[in-house]
Amino acid sequence: MTAHIADVNVAADARAARRELRRRFSGSLYGSGSAGYDEARQAVNPALDARPLVIAEAAGALDVSAALTWARERQLPFAVQSTGHGTQVPSDGGVLLKTSALTRVLVDPDRGIARVGAGARWDSVLAAAAPFGLAPLSGSSPDVGVAGYTLGGGLSWLSRRFGFAADSVLRAQVVTADGRMVTASRDEHPELFWALRGGGGNFGVVTSLDFRLHRVARVWSGSAVFPLERAAVTLAAYRDWIADAPDELSTAVVLLPSWPSTGAPAFAIRAMSSGTPEAAAEAMRPLYRAAGAPLWDDFREAPFAQTRMPGIAPLNFDLFETLPDPVIEHVVDAVRQPGSRVGAVEVRHWGGAMSRPTPDAGPVGHRNVPLSVIVEGPAETAEALAPYATGGTFLNFLRDPSRVEAAYTPDNYRWLRVLKARLDPDNVLSVNHNIAPRP
């Protein structure tokens, strides 16, 4: 009986709280038990079962400010979510602000700039930019939200030529932790602007972004599949080949436990080039010599906006300075074993423009590390690689919020904590990949 009375009181308090917020908020509000609540609280990660006190779907920047101020006044946890792809921390008992209604996309074709609302997805930007022969630095999936992807760094198949998505940001409209609405750019609030470009959602709630688009109308891309027997030799060749790979060419080698047409283990060389098909094919010739005759090859030229490169779920992600023989042997064996629980292993080349930042570039990741390995499978398979990895990670691919520091260089992380203490000393924006204020 007592527990039932307590539950009733909690529910009544929650309703009263939502009524109070309603007086300030013009968008939709959802509470536990109300229609739309269960749908709105979902993240892409099925392991998260968040139970926020209130879900507030902002209709504009004023709503963002109202919800953030209200949560801070009541000392409630505050989280931000658009598509839910980057959500790794549940917003239990707090305010979950949804920016998914802020979907406006404007393209200035003469200046090659897009202005994009915080709830927009990459498919909308691709569709708006393509008629002008322009391309954003989008990732593998067009369903991913622009804002979270970009604030976490943003790795595109065009990044070796143009840098991280965060490097293309020119301006951001931001609601700060104290509820102010400001513009952050190189000339206005430059410290905030620096921190946003790689610092995730720690320094303000972005309501819109302006970023450069790039003159790429068509790309040459695809995959070539080979029997797994040549995988070790090809990976050994790949670790040397990347040193001279042109910036226009992004590549990855993916090991697969079963190729559909044969049922046997295989590996694929995947690539995208924003240069000419002939130049890309010539550059990749050494890899083909190592790999042998392909079982399947679908490379072709097509509009960038219509090109889809398969992605690998970053269940276990590590960065590498090179690929030692023990790493190559381990990943090949993990895929080759009968009954392997590994879905795929991806070895990807980074570098290029990502490793040559401008002097005022944001704090994105470990720019000088040339390779990553993703193991889509059991953690123990990836753990055997740890002694050979750098120990660093990439914020967009980080599933363990306790390892945020590993996503940055020591100097950048130290400075991010200093800025956090200036911009959000009470750590209001903490239900995320959190960077705590430096005392």
Read off the pLDDT of residues 66-79 as tens digits, 9 standing for 90 and up: 999 999 999 999 99
pLDDT of residue 45: 77
Q: Please give the model's pTM, rounded to 2 decimal places.
A: 0.94
CATH architecture of 2-98: 2-Layer Sandwich (3.30)
pLDDT at 44 over 90: no
- Confidence bin at 12 (pLDDT 50/70/90): low
pLDDT score of 381: 94
* Residue 400 CB neighbour total at 10 angstroms: 10
DSSP 8-state secondary structure symbol assigned to residue 397: G
pLDDT of 83 above 80: no
For 320-379, what is each residue's pLDDT tens digit? Answer: 999 999 999 999 999 999 989 999 999 999 999 999 999 999 999 899 999 999 999 999
The pLDDT, as a whole number, for residue 50 is 80
- For the chain, give every residue range classified as CATH 3.30.43.10: 2-98
* CATH 3.30.465.10 placement within the chain: 105-215+404-423
Q: Where in the chain is the domain with CATH 3.40.462.20?
A: 218-402
Q: Amino acid letter at 388?
A: Y
CATH topology of domain 218-402: Vanillyl-alcohol Oxidase; Chain A, domain 3 (3.40.462)
Reply yes or no on whether the pLDDT at 307 is more than 80. yes
Residue carrying the six token digits 């889809």: 308
Residue 373, φ and ψ in degrees, nearest 5: -130, 125
Answer whether CATH 3.40.50.970 is correct for domain 105-215+404-423: no
C-alpha distances (whole Å) from 106 to each of 124, 128, 325 are 10, 7, 49
Alpha-carbon separation of residue 429 from 30, 49, 107, 400, 405 (angstroms): 21, 20, 30, 17, 16
Q: Assign 2 a pLDDT band (cuts: 50, 70, 90).
A: very low
Q: What is the pLDDT of residues 111-137, one digit of tens each?
A: 999 999 999 999 999 999 999 999 999
Angle at 305 between CA 297 and CA 125, to 5 degrees: 150
pLDDT-derived band at 5, boundaries 50, 70, 90: very low
Q: Does residue 311 carry a pLDDT above 90?
A: no
Reduce the DSSP state of residue 407 to 3 states and report it.
helix
Q: Is the pLDDT of residue 86 over 70?
A: no
